[in-house]
Amino acid sequence: MPLSITNSILEWYNSNARCLPWREQPDPYRIWVAEVMLQQTRVETVLPYYQRWMDRFPTIIALSDASLQEVLTVWEGLGYYQRARNLHQAAQIIVAKFEGEIPNDPKILNSLPGIGKYTAAAIASIAFDLDEPVLDGNVRRVLARLFDLRIPVSSNQAQKRLWQLATSLLPPGRAGDFNQALMDLGATICTPRQPSCPKCPVNQMCQAFTLGLQNERPILKQRTVIPHYTVTAAVIQQNGCVLIAQRPPDGLLGGLWEFPGGKVQPEEDLDTCLEREIREELDVKISVGEPLGIHHHAYSHFKVTLHAFRCKLLSGEPRNLVHDAIVWARLDKLDTFPMGKIDRQIAKKICS
């Protein structure tokens, strides 16, 4: 049976492969960037960012030579900023240690920043034609349905079984095509909700479909409740400039610039929170003025509602106590400072 599943999927791919820019010129650098951008992000979202990235950093040397600030600015809006920092760092390692050539050994690839087992296998199979199976969210879902996997897909036991299945289906010499075919099948036909089973090239061999269980597979772990935080941000302007602060390089939105502020504590109102945060972060006293908007955003592990206010410096000279840097930025230069989604919306508002 595995052979006919493999052949049917490959045959389907021959006439249904998606036209994607990294497939038109499949060099290792372009494939690597695409695979990193596609982590936790849909193809449609990635396409304009990919084009912008390739226009600005067409080669690994161009990426390696760029400053982190430039890299984060080009990535801005795509989220999960650690991926951009890792690409930049890995490019510098590849230039320094491998003469700018991306290594074709999955183990070496896996040792580079931001390249996990999946991305290493994707690069090795698609760019270097090595017989390496891949297991991303799409592939996992297709296999869990095809073989009616009855345990939660994120469990160790399921992961082991899925890697075995992906390996057993792999056609020697055509792993790159087969892996991409599975990804495309998962993205276009075997979708998370309401898969289009009648159009599927392997529906005759699909155990979940045969049993009418395609909507119950894969089995997912119960979602945990996502915490929600209320936060505040201060827009402090002076002489045509606004005070912004750079977040530490590691962690959420690392290296990006923001309007200072922070989380509202229990029993605290918005004004008190902002006055306290600014005192703790910048060692100055402010008065909280006109509201500038309420912004909602969902990150991977929590949600925030952010209240932005115009604020006035009452006393003290801002000192950097918790950020990597603080700067009085000219309003017409704010777009050269990479920012997360909410801070960019505030920046646009005060510049309009």
CB of 45 to ligand SF4, least distance (A): 23
H or E element that contains 169 = helix 156-169
- The three-state secondary structure class of 134 is coil
CB of 217 to ligand SF4, least distance (A): 7
Q: What are the start-end ranges of the E strands in 166-264?
A: 228-238, 241-246, 257-258, 261-263
Residue 35 known to be catalytic = yes
CB of 189 to ligand SF4, least distance (A): 5
CB-based contact 83:39 (threshold 8 Å): yes
Matching residue, tokens 């990235």: 53
- Give the pair of three-digit tokens for residue 84: 């951009």
Written as one letter, the residue type at 313 is L
Cα–Cα–Cα angle for 193, 198, 202, rounded to 5 degrees: 95
- In 60-155, alpha helices (H): 60-65, 68-75, 82-98, 106-110, 117-128, 137-146
CB-based contact 22:50 (threshold 8 Å): yes
The smaller minimum CB distance to ligand SF4, of residues 64 and 138, is found at: 138
CB of 165 to ligand SF4, least distance (A): 12
Find the catalytic residue in 11, 24, 35, 70.
Answer: 35
CB of 192 to ligand SF4, least distance (A): 10
Distance of CA 334 to the CA centre of its chain: 24
H or E element that contains 30 = helix 28-37
The smaller minimum CB distance to ligand SF4, of residues 70 and 148, is found at: 148
Burial class (CB in 10 A: 0-12, 13-18, 19+), 300: exposed
CB of 143 to ligand SF4, least distance (A): 9
Residues in contact with ligand SF4 by the rule CB under 6 A: 142, 145-146, 189-190, 195, 197, 200, 202-203, 206, 208-209, 214
Q: Return d(Cα 345, Cα 296) in angstroms, integer.
A: 11
The smaller minimum CB distance to ligand SF4, of residues 83 and 217, is found at: 217
The smaller minimum CB distance to ligand SF4, of residues 210 and 265, is found at: 210
| Residue-by-residue DSSP string for 286-345 | EEEEEEEEEEEEE-SS-EEEEEEEEEEEEES----SSSSEEEEEEGGGGGGS-B-HHHHH
The smaller minimum CB distance to ligand SF4, of residues 119 and 138, is found at: 138
The smaller minimum CB distance to ligand SF4, of residues 54 and 142, is found at: 142
Give me the active site residues, please. 35
